[in-house]
Structures are given as structure tokens and as C-alpha cells.
Chain A
Amino acid sequence: QQPVQSPQAVILREGEDAVINCSSSKALYSVHWYRQKHGEAPIFLMILLKGGEQKGHDKISASFNEKKQQSSLYLTASQLSYSGTYFCRGTSYDKVIFGPGTSLSVIP
């Protein structure tokens, strides 16, 4: 079953913060986050492994709550370049499944 992402879409002004959530009904070993700009291939952002480890990449960080099977992506002080669709990718023991995506638009 596909992970659920929320919100489906969000519009931010430059400098604002955002949180994107990814919830799974299946037990996951890891969660990946990707960003895709329109007409381009997805680009890897980070991976979260079991254990609730929080990873960061510049002003983008993420966490994985194994108990809730939920991962959150935190975008701090958003920049215009953050615009795109963000996908989570969950890995369970038997499959890899992408979420439907969250469209994020950053406006000046």
C-alpha cells in the first residue's frame, strides 16, 4: 500500500518553513526523500534508517519515527530553488513504494 503524504500541495513565501509528512501502514526499514522538478528526474535528498535518526542536508532535514511509521521532511528558510514535488520512498521487507508526492511552490 502506497505511503500517504501530507499536505498534497503547499505554497510558501521565500524564507518560510515547511514540513512534509509521509505515513506508512507497513513496517519500513528505511525512508528516502527525493525532489523532482517539472520535466526532470527525481533527485535524492536523504535517507532515514530505522532508529529515528535525523539527517540533515543544508537547510533541509528529516526524521523517521519508527513507532509511528512516519517520516517528516523539514524545509527551513525556503528558497526559490526548493520548488518542486517531494516524494518519500519507503522500503519494507518485501517492497519499495513511493508516496504520491507533495507539490511545493516557493514564491518571492
Chain B
Amino acid sequence: NAGVTQTPKFQVLKTGQSMTLQCAQDMNHEYMSWYRQDPGMGLRLIHYSVGAGITDQGEVPNGYNVSRSTTEDFPLRLLSAAPSQTSVYFCASSSSGNYNEQFFGPGTRLTVL
């Protein structure tokens, strides 16, 4: 099993550009989520999904969109990148909501100029 994979590993964008961060898992997990990690602030939840076709907002959803058309994939879209979105982004999955171990992907380091 590959676990949770994320692409790309690194990305540099200019302000106003859009892009999609990819996340996939091969563990048949229902629950997937996106976090951003900034220095000294831990991980903050952006969006999450409890199953295909179901998504909801987390703590810091503004400027991001998600969709979940399959169990395996959970892409995160930046609509119009801003320097404040410079961060490390982690995708995570678990077999159910909040009581099971979350498996994290390797992360995407995004810089917005």
C-alpha cells in the first residue's frame, strides 16, 4: 500500500494564480481532510470529507475549494493564490471520523509570491 500520497511536493505560484493540490489514499478510508501548517500554529483544518460526495468546511476554509467524487481522491483547489496561503499542506485520511488514527501524506510546500 502506498498510504496517502500528495502531489506536487513543492510549488511556487504568483499571486492570483490557481492550482490544485492532489491527494489520494489506497486504504479505503471514508474520512479525508486537508490541513495547513504554519510555524508556531500547529495544523489547522481547511476542509474535510466523511465520504464520497460529502465535504464540509474546517477552521480556515476561505480561499480553498474541495470535492470528493471518489473514495480515493480528495483534491484541494486554490482559487486565486495569495501570499497568506504560503504554507505546508497536509492531506490525511482515517477509517472513520475522529476516533481512529489519521494517516498523513508527505505534504506539499507551497510558496505564493
List A residues at the B interface (Cβ < 8 Å): 2, 29-30, 32, 34, 40-44, 47, 49, 87, 89, 91, 95-101
Given A41-B90, A42-B90, A97 contacting B103 (CB threshold 8 A)? no
List B residues at the A interface (Cβ < 8 Å): 33, 35, 40-45, 58-59, 90, 98-107
The answer to whether A42 touches B99 (Cβ under 8 A) is no
Distance in angstroms from A64 CB to nearest chain B CB is 13
Most chain A CB within a 10 A radius of its CB, from B42, B43, B44: B42
A sample of 29 cross-chain residue pairs with beta-carbon separation below 8 angstroms, ordered by A number, consists of: A29-B99, A32-B102, A40-B106, A41-B104, A41-B105, A41-B106, A42-B90, A44-B101, A44-B102, A47-B101, A49-B99, A87-B42, A89-B43, A89-B102, A91-B98, A91-B99, A95-B58, A95-B59, A96-B45, A96-B58, A96-B98, A97-B59, A98-B35, A98-B43, A99-B42, A100-B40, A100-B41, A101-B40, A101-B42
